[in-house]
Structure 1
Amino acid sequence: MSRRNDALRAARLRAGWRTMEAAATRLTEHGQRLLGDAHFTVSPRTWRRWEGERPGWPPEETAIVLHDALGRWPEDLGFTAPAGWLRPEYQREDDVNRLRTFGSVTEAALMPGPVATQHVDPALIDYFQQQLEGHYRADMYLGPHDLIGTVSAQYQLIDKLVRSARGETRRGLLRVGAAYAALVGWLYQDAGDLGGAAFWRGVTQEIAVRSRDVHLIGYSLVNQAQVRTDLGDGHGVIDLCEAALDDSDRLFPKVRIMAMQQQAHGASLTGDRSTVDRLIDRADGLLPRVDDDLPWGNACRRTPGYLEVQRATCYGRLGLGHEAEALWTQVLAEVPATARRDRGVYLARHAAAAAAAREPDHAVEIAREAAAIAAETRSARMVRELRSLERLMRPWQDASVGRDLAEILVPVTEGN
């Protein structure tokens, strides 16, 4: 007879959770209330593993939920603590350090003035624009964590120069500064920190308004809408995109495309497929007219199948598994292997579409590559997509294909 984790079993029974399935349900509900995260989930399969011979070690947020629900930390519930584990109650110094790190980055946007006046050469505008294009490329290869500090530090330098610059040089630096702030906001969003993302999206909007650039103001509203999309606020997305399109006749086609495709995401969150298709079709008609030389917002030119990516994502959100799966097959055939981060996100969404189309073996085959990229880039967005796949694969969680998926995702989801 195999050994059991009797400590966890006893704690479960004391809590009145008579079966492991009931325990998984109760802990999921408790975690969602405690963390305020509707995506927090513990499956019956996971709980059965915990009560088995090799329970492993739960992610930190799950450890906190277990403690809150059962009154004991995992090492007192039969789990084997990894080296270096500190209970959250002992982690105050680490929390302070994390706050200091965030503070050092936000200081890039809140540097107190005045600063010493200096000459600002107009050639610096072109310099920062060229650097920005390099950061966009690096983001595709590296993911967010290695770039946040670098890009925010450059924003701080731009802000310092803006305070000394005059005339067109100052306006040019404000425009490029807004683009840098937008990129920092995106990096925070990709890293899973929506609070940091919202902060930097607000900075983007402030700098865009100060620049008096109608195109950047529209772009900043679309940036705000992206955060609302990740928050699942469809009506908020639509409001912001409609505001961006109020002056659509004055906007570059690129900005109009960005606003329309993001509004389509809002429509998908409200269950409106016809509006999704209408907006993306209208945006597609504008693509041949994109001819500006601005360094920001060029995903519609740089990303293969850009609008079909948006349509496939919206279809997946609407539960249209077969339609989304067919589109992802088409899109991924054009995505270069060098675009690692984007490819990983698309693969995770493709796997979810295959699961929704009730093709579990195909979903697991696709997820294998996505999980490898997620582990490499540490993209929270990718991890979130893979967690969505886990939920869609629950009908097969006790079958061999479900166990294969669980094994594939362990390096990605454990600790996240």
Structure 2
Amino acid sequence: MDTTRNTILEAWMREHGHSSSSLAEAVNAAQERLTGRRGGHDGSSVRTWKSGRVRWPKSATRKALEDVTGLSATALGFVPPGRAQSTPAPEQEDPDMKRRTLAGGIAAAAATAAAPGTALRRIGTSDVDRLQHRFAEIIASDHRHGGQLSIEQRAAALADEALNLQNAGSATQRVRSNLYACAAAFRSSAMWAAIDGRRYDDAQRHLREAQALAEMSGDLAIKFRIWSHAGSMFRHLGRPADAFAANDVARGLSITRRDPMFASLGLARQAAIHGAAQDLTGTRRAFDQAQDALERTDPRDYRPVWMLAFYDQAELDSLALSAYLALGDYPTAESHAHRCLSALRPHMARSRAITQTRLAHAQLAQGEPDAATATAMKVPATAATQHPRVSRMLQEFGAALRATAPGSPTVQTWTEHTAAWRTRA
């Protein structure tokens, strides 16, 4: 019997703070709400799901799990009888030799995802609405935690689920386009989680899938998101020429001419790339244009949830902070950091941790080790130890602090604080 571990379920439990016993209790309560009879699960039941000894729980249990998690059983890593484990094996050959053609590859993925023997039904807007609700949950998880492998895996599984619906029944062309747009949105979130977690090979794989799905959807907003993310990925990889090229694709879409918020985001990310490329004039010009476009934004206009969830004045200042820090203009970087922190919305936990870490770097570079250390100590232990970008920046901060003030009480304070982080994490 195949007992491949259900790593997706394990990751979901870690992210939501569930032990085996607490999840069992939640499933029992959900089963009582659904059927009128309380479930009989305990911690050992959940451990059989995690270990893979039970790959497809009984129908009442599956429905209760879906009610508790908001995800389908397949998105949680369970495998229906007769289907192969969906987790792909690592590629051992040149990925370019394995790439599928655009239409053929996506159609094949949809066919593979469709469960055999599933009765055809009418796929409608309610199915799209359900997927969009799941997408909003992915966005919320990203802003709380950021960069986590569990978010990447869950988004990729939901992209497959959206493709699955293409073969599950009949639908209008509009619904089919919306399903491809949902799949592209989930894949772009998987891509961003991989970028944020510094898993760049995985991010580029998600990018190729997302681009293909977006083309089939015809959705300009999601095309913008994918190409804009690609620009950010290449900026983090230290490839400004590729970053400019990708971001230019996003900025060249007609949606940036119709909506100043999209224009502003494209320009703000362009400015960040100019900063990474050490172009002070280009940075200032692009940020001025981004600020002007943001001020022309009409909040009453419709925009997708991913845009509304994060882009505002605080995000523009966050990108400015990144750019001026790269340019070595530390006073300007610090000014944008304070503006960003004062305007960040409460749900932007990941962004707050990144901004605090960058602010600490800017303060240290201005010869203020005590203020910088106090700022760095405000970063939560979870972000400091579990978010790859934040962890790396804090390691670099520690090295710079020791070089700036070797043997000082401030260094000792920082050393003790980071040891406590590791203990609590």
User: How far apart are 1:252 and its partner, in Å?
Assistant: 3.5
Structure 1, residues 178-211: CA drift from partner, whole Å, max 9, x if none? 1111111111222221111221122211111111
- 1:139 and 2:146 aligned: no
Which residue number in structure 2 is paired with residue 18 of structure 1? none
Unaligned 5+ residue runs, structure 2?
1-84, 92-105
Decide whether aligned partners of structure 1 residues 206 and 251 sit closer, same or farther in structure 2, where only a CA change above 3 A counts.
farther
Structure 1, residues 349-374: CA drift from partner, whole Å, max 9, x if none? 11011111111101100111115242
Decide whether aligned partners of structure 1 residues 263 and 122 sit closer, same or farther in structure 2, where only a CA change above 3 A counts.
same
Q: Over aligned residues, Cα RMSD in angstroms?
A: 3.0
Which residue number in structure 2 is paired with residue 253 of structure 1? 260
Q: Give the 3-state SS of the residue equivalent to 1:289 in structure 2.
A: coil
Which residue number in structure 2 is paired with residue 265 of structure 1? 272
- 1:277 and 2:280 aligned: no
Unaligned 5+ residue runs, structure 1?
1-99
- 1:382 and 2:385 aligned: no
User: How far apart are 1:158 and its partner, in Å?
Assistant: 0.2
Q: Give the 3-state SS of the residue equivalent to 1:113 in structure 2.
A: helix
Q: Hey, what's the Cα distance between the residues in 1 that align with 2:141 and 2:224? A: 25
Decide whether aligned partners of structure 1 residues 355 and 396 sit closer, same or farther in structure 2, where only a CA change above 3 A counts.
same
Which residue number in structure 1 is paired with residue 88 of structure 2? 103
Q: Hey, what's the Cα distance between the residues in 2 that align with 1:396 and 1:323? A: 23
Which residue number in structure 2 is paired with residue 329 of structure 1? 338
1:338-353 correspondence runs (5 A):
338-353=347-362
Q: Hey, what's the Cα distance between the residues in 2 that align with 1:413 and 1:251? A: 48
1:180-259 correspondence runs (5 A):
180-248=186-254, 250=257, 252-259=259-266
1:352-363 correspondence runs (5 A):
352-363=361-372
Structure 1, residues 18-50: CA drift from partner, whole Å, max 9, x if none? xxxxxxxxxxxxxxxxxxxxxxxxxxxxxxxxx
User: How far apart are 1:166 and its partner, in Å?
Assistant: 4.1
Which residue number in structure 2 is paired with residue 59 of structure 1? none
Which residue number in structure 2 is paired with residue 401 of structure 1? 410
Q: Hey, what's the Cα distance between the residues in 1 that align with 2:251 and 2:347? A: 34
Decide whether aligned partners of structure 1 residues 375 and 250 sit closer, same or farther in structure 2, where only a CA change above 3 A counts.
closer
Decide whether aligned partners of structure 1 residues 402 and 101 sit closer, same or farther in structure 2, where only a CA change above 3 A counts.
farther
Q: Hey, what's the Cα distance between the residues in 1 that align with 2:307 and 2:172? A: 26
1:21-100 correspondence runs (5 A):
none
Could you tell me which amino acid in structure 1 is paired with residue 388 of structure 2?
A
User: How far apart are 1:336 and its partner, in Å?
Assistant: 4.6
User: How far apart are 1:375 and its partner, in Å?
Assistant: 4.1
Stretch deviating more after TM superposition (364-373 or 228-237): 364-373
User: How far apart are 1:383 and its partner, in Å?
Assistant: 1.0
Which residue number in structure 2 is paired with residue 38 of structure 1? none
In the superposition, the TM-score normalised over structure 1's length comes to 0.68
Number of residue pairs aligned between Structure 1 and Structure 2: 313
Could you tell me which amino acid in structure 2 is paired with residue 204 of structure 1?
A
Could you tell me which amino acid in structure 1 is paired with residue 286 of structure 2?
L
User: How far apart are 1:161 and its partner, in Å?
Assistant: 1.2
Which residue number in structure 2 is paired with residue 5 of structure 1? none
Residues 265 and 316 of structure 2 are in contact (CA less than 8 Å); yes or no, is this contact kept in structure 1?
no
Q: Give the 3-state SS of the residue equivalent to 1:297 in structure 2.
A: helix
In the superposition, the TM-score normalised over structure 2's length comes to 0.66
Which residue number in structure 1 is paired with residue 75 of structure 2? none
Q: Hey, what's the Cα distance between the residues in 1 that align with 2:202 and 2:420? A: 26
Q: Give the 3-state SS of the residue equivalent to 2:307 in structure 1.
A: coil
Decide whether aligned partners of structure 1 residues 202 and 298 sit closer, same or farther in structure 2, where only a CA change above 3 A counts.
farther
1:295 pairs with 287, 294, 305, which one? 305
Decide whether aligned partners of structure 1 residues 219 and 338 sit closer, same or farther in structure 2, where only a CA change above 3 A counts.
closer
Residues 120 and 161 of structure 1 are in contact (CA less than 8 Å); yes or no, is this contact kept in structure 2?
yes
Q: Give the 3-state SS of the residue equivalent to 2:283 in structure 1.
A: helix
Decide whether aligned partners of structure 1 residues 338 and 122 sit closer, same or farther in structure 2, where only a CA change above 3 A counts.
closer
Question: Identical aligned pairs, as a percentage?
Answer: 19
User: How far apart are 1:170 and its partner, in Å?
Assistant: 0.4
Stretch deviating more after TM superposition (111-120 or 170-179): 111-120
Structure with the larger RCO, 1 or 2 (CA within 8 Å, 6+ apart): 1
Residues 159 and 177 of structure 1 are in contact (CA less than 8 Å); yes or no, is this contact kept in structure 2?
yes
Residues 234 and 240 of structure 2 are in contact (CA less than 8 Å); yes or no, is this contact kept in structure 1?
yes
Structure 1, residues 93-120: CA drift from partner, whole Å, max 9, x if none? xxxxxxx9963799xx984625465431
Q: Hey, what's the Cα distance between the residues in 1 that align with 2:253 and 2:155? A: 30
Q: Give the 3-state SS of the residue equivalent to 2:88 in structure 1.
A: helix
Q: Hey, what's the Cα distance between the residues in 2 that align with 1:235 and 1:413? A: 38
User: How far apart are 1:283 and its partner, in Å?
Assistant: 1.6
Could you tell me which amino acid in structure 2 is paired with residue 224 of structure 1?
A
Residues 234 and 268 of structure 1 are in contact (CA less than 8 Å); yes or no, is this contact kept in structure 2?
no
Q: Hey, what's the Cα distance between the residues in 1 that align with 2:384 and 2:251? A: 38
Q: Give the 3-state SS of the residue equivalent to 1:285 in structure 2.
A: helix
